[in-house]
């Protein structure tokens, strides 16, 4: 019951944030114009609502879904609360590929950037696969190999930044993660992937429930552990890769949204995955709308805002976990 309530609340919050995002921004848009635009009637605000805010909202929601679910899968597989697309090197690989395009081929067409980012995410994954003996390593070692892979790509990105110190603005914006200029073509890029991968990820909940136990238990319960792990990580990489391709290397959402969800509904993935997805979308929407109204006419990139909102919560979580641990000991 509580879980259903949590899901409904997160969903309603998403609708509420969508409405707020449609209403507020650099330009005042009355509710009446929003309604008319949604009904397809021409009105003075239809451009801002239909061509700027709606695609931004849809991109934020879909990317939030992708990042959060990717984070859930990785945290459970690696049995590591710090795991996220960032930590296993996926976002770092995407970031390096995107920075390479921005710096070395500044005249590349606009679609080259998401394509390169997506390819970079999978390149990082391929490297992880090779270095971890096709994932036969234990979860902790796997996470560390991911960190190492990420560090190599991070170093590459930083080398590019140091080599081209004066035109780093575009690259820094991309590496932070931004929803500026995202249009319906970005939504169409994300939608088929997310629509296909999200149900697939959710249908793996039973395996994820087992895999977050120890390897021995999972094997004894009949799971072909290496193969399942490979398949699920591939899913996580694809989800994060496509999200990062569309909005840039946003790190924090994939780390924090799964934690929030785990706090509320526990570790059963049939509940965890949908709630984390909704919370990821909520975080993206909240970060974007705040970033758009804070310092008009400039914008604060959503990657910064989502970290600013997410970081205090993360600290709160850590403190709370410590308290619970202390209480548990005294209880004994």
Partner 1 sequence: MRWGVKKALAIALVCLWSVALAACGAAGNSNSGAGPAASSSSPSASAPSPSAASPQASAESASGPITMEDAVGTVTLQKVPERIVAMDFSFTDALATLDVQPVGIADDDDPGLFMDAVKSKLTNYQSVGSRYEPNIERISALQPDLIIVDINKHKNALEQLKGIAPLLILDDYEADYDQMIKNYRIIAKAVGKEAEGEKRLAEHQAIIDEAKAKLGGAKLTVLPAVVNPTGFFAHSEHSFSGSFLAMMGFDDPVKNETSYPQLSLEQLVETNPQALFLLPTDQKTIVDQWESNPLWKQIDAAANGKVFTVERRDWSLSRGLLGSEKMAADLVSALGA
The binding site for partner 1 (CB under 8 A) comprises 4, 7, 11, 18, 25-27, 37-38, 40, 42-44, 46-48, 50-55, 57-58, 61-62, 65, 106-107, 109-110, 113, 162-167, 169-170, 173, 178, 180-181, 183-185, 187-188, 191, 194-195, 198-199, 202, 205, 270-271, 274, 277-278, 295-299, 301
Q: How far is the CB of 124 from partner 1 (least distance, A)?
A: 23
Backbone angles phi, psi at 224, to 5 degrees: -85, 95
Q: Which residues contact 211 (CB under 8 A, 6 or more apart)?
A: 76, 77, 218, 223, 225, 228, 229, 232
Give the H or E element holding residue 225. helix 225-247
Q: Which two tokens stand for residue 205?
A: 């909940």
Q: How far is the CB of 257 from partner 1 (least distance, A)?
A: 14
Q: 127 vs 235, which CB is nearer to partner 1?
A: 235
DSSP 201-217: HHHTHHHHHHHTS-HHH
Q: 12 vs 326, which CB is nearer to partner 1?
A: 12
Q: 129 vs 275, which CB is nearer to partner 1?
A: 275
Query: 153: buried, middle or exposed (CB in 10 Å: 19+, 13-18, 0-12)?
Result: buried
Q: How far is the CB of 128 from partner 1 (least distance, A)?
A: 28
Q: 158 vs 183, which CB is nearer to partner 1?
A: 183
Q: How far apart are the first and last CA of the chain?
A: 30
Q: 27 vs 219, which CB is nearer to partner 1?
A: 27
Q: How far is the CB of 322 from partner 1 (least distance, A)?
A: 32
The Cα angle at residue 197 between residues 191 and 201, in degrees rounded to 5:
145
């Amino acid at each position: 019951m509580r879980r259903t309530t949590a899901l409904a609340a997160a969903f309603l919050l998403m609708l509420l944030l969508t409405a707020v995002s449609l209403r507020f921004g650099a330009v005042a848009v009355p509710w009446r114009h929003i309604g008319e635009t949604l009904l397809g009637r021409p009105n003075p605000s239809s451009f801002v609502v239909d061509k700027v805010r709606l695609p931004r909202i849809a991109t934020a929601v879909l990317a939030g879904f992708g990042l959060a679910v990717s984070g859930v899968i990785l945290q459970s597989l690696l049995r590591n609360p710090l795991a996220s697309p960032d930590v296993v090197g996926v976002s770092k690989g995407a970031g390096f590929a995107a920075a390479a395009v921005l710096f070395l081929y500044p005249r590349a067409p606009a679609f080259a950037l998401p394509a390169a980012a997506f390819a970079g995410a999978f390149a990082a994954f391929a490297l992880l696969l090779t270095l971890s003996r096709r994932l036969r390593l234990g979860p902790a070692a796997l996470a560390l190999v991911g960190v190492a892979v990420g560090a190599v790509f991070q170093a590459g990105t930083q080398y590019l930044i140091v080599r081209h110190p004066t035109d780093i603005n575009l690259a820094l914006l991309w590496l932070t993660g931004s929803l500026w200029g995202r249009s319906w073509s970005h939504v169409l890029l994300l939608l088929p992937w997310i629509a296909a991968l999200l149900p697939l990820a959710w249908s793996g909940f039973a395996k994820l429930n087992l895999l977050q136990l120890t390897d021995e238990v999972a094997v004894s319960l009949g799971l072909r552990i290496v193969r399942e792990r490979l398949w699920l990580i591939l899913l996580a990489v694809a989800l994060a890769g496509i999200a990062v391709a569309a909005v840039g290397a946003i790190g924090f959402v994939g780390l924090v949204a799964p934690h929030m969800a785990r706090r509320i509904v526990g570790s059963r993935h049939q509940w965890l995955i949908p709630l984390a997805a909704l919370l990821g979308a909520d975080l993206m929407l909240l970060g974007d709308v705040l970033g758009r109204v804070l310092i008009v006419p400039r914008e604060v990139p959503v990657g910064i805002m989502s970290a600013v909102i997410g970081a205090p919560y993360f600290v709160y979580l850590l403190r709370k976990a410590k308290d619970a641990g202390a209480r548990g000991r005294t209880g004994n």
